Homo-oligomer: A and B are copies of this chain.
Amino acid sequence: MKRNVLIIGAGGVAQVVAHKCAQNNDVLGEIHIASRTLSKCEAILETVRDKAAMKTDGVLKAHQVDAMDSAAVAALIRDTGAQIVINVGSAFVNMTVLDACLETGAAYIDTAIHEDPAKICEIPPWYGNYEWKKRDLCAERGVTAILGAGFDPGVVNAFARFAIDRMDEVKSIDIVDINAGSHGKYFATNFDPEINFREFTGTVYYWEDQQWKETRMFESGRDWDLPVVGTQRAYQSGHDEVHSLATNYPQADVRFWMGFGEHYINVFTVLQNLGLLSEQPVTTAEGQKVVPLKLVKAVLPDPASLAPDYTGKTCIGDLVKGVKDGEEVEIFVYNVADHKDAYEEVGSQGISYTAGVPPVAAAMLVATGEWDAGTMKNVEEMDPKPFFTLLDGMGLPTRIKDAQGDRPWNA
């Protein structure tokens, strides 16, 4: 059954979402996109038309909305007849958009956890601070909400579930995110610098020995030997999926590792030590109040601008260890994506591509009913197989590597 989609947001990920919705509008129906700035939405739809991405004739329309205004979002859902909302706006708008879905009955899908602009790194599990407080209400009203359905969180949660389903007992889940691509700039972040840096400036929480443990960014590093991208150094980082996986699989250690080069770490360290990554305003000699992180965001390249010159590949996967038939086993479930391929298909770089394709697959599964849970779920609570099947055909094939070799997940 076709279901109209409303995309919230107009950044690099929203562009990927729009293209992928268009490519699948035989399943998804009308495509609406809304953000604070109408012209940004229109620019995205222009790229969709340029690539002739619409699979069948259909509605493709831009709207202006303040996503912090729940009533305005609800009105737009009603006006557009949207039955699925894909929220890829700023991480600060999750709760107002979710409220609008609860109000209207539309299904809700997002790709990152809610954040309060004034707080960094709240107490674990992070989902407990905001989203999960609405879980009972979702169930009561039969509203489907699929949380964290990007790549990480999202596909990596499904990777974990897939691996765990093949074992009798899970012992550890290590999620590794390596971007071995090159954008050719002195320094840039791959998505909104404000959100990007906020991930790294607070406490890094991880789950070990059935309890939350803490470290700091770049304190815990390890070399990983991975398919295609080779040996890469990655550091324990705070990440959304650690908080849901640790809650759903408390018997397993859960850690997230992100790859960083020396140059990135150096620039980050300088900015952080100088106080330039702070979300708290400082006052200049002239009396102007400025949030340093917002200025840093303003001087860095727009992540979307990196796409045309981005080359190289990403490798994101889960190393899951456990026990099967009394034997210790391990499996690496992963995807490799190519920046240039992503740009050629949808005009975006690989990081936006990996984040933007999965929520569209999730939306299609909601539309077909397979993931239409009628309540709030994290991705590891859903069947991963139809998700992988869709992603295989949408540009993000899943592979596995274990004692039996390296092959497609369903080979």
A interface list, Cβ under 8 A from B? 186-187, 266-267, 270-271, 273-276, 278, 282-286, 288, 290, 292, 294-300
- A316 → chain B closest CB, angstroms: 27
Question: What are the residues of chain B within 8 A of A290 when measuring CB–CB?
Answer: 288, 290, 295, 298
Q: Is the CB of B288 within 8 A of A187?
A: no
Cα(A43)–Cα(B30), bound, Å: 68
Q: Is the CB of B297 within 8 A of A295?
A: no
Cα(A300)–Cα(B292), bound, Å: 12
Q: Is the CB of B270 within 8 A of A298?
A: no
Q: Is the CB of A285 within 8 A of B274?
A: no
**Which residue in chain B gives the minimum CB-CB distance to A272?**
B186
- A117 → chain B closest CB, angstroms: 11
**Which residue in chain B gives the minimum CB-CB distance to A186?**
B273
Q: Please tell me which one of the listed residues B273, B285, B300 contacts residue A297 in the complex, with CB atoms under 8 A apart.
A: B285
Beyond A270-B270, A282-B298, 11 additional contacts (C-beta under 8 Å) are A186-B274, A267-B274, A270-B271, A274-B296, A276-B299, A282-B295, A282-B299, A284-B298, A290-B290, A290-B295, A292-B299
Question: What are the residues of chain B within 8 A of A282 when measuring CB–CB?
Answer: 295, 298-299
Question: What are the residues of chain B within 8 A of A294 when measuring CB–CB?
Answer: 284-286, 288
Question: What are the residues of chain B within 8 A of A266 when measuring CB–CB?
Answer: 266, 270
Q: Which of A267, A282, A290, A295 has the most CB of B within 10 A?
A: A295
Cα(A274)–Cα(B270), bound, Å: 11
- A113 → chain B closest CB, angstroms: 20
Ranked 9 nearest A-B pairs via Cβ: A275-B299, A270-B270, A284-B298, A186-B273, A284-B294, A282-B298, A290-B295, A267-B270, A290-B290
Question: What are the residues of chain B within 8 A of A288 when measuring CB–CB?
Answer: 290, 294
- A217 → chain B closest CB, angstroms: 16
Q: Which of A186, A274, A275 has the most CB of B within 10 A?
A: A274
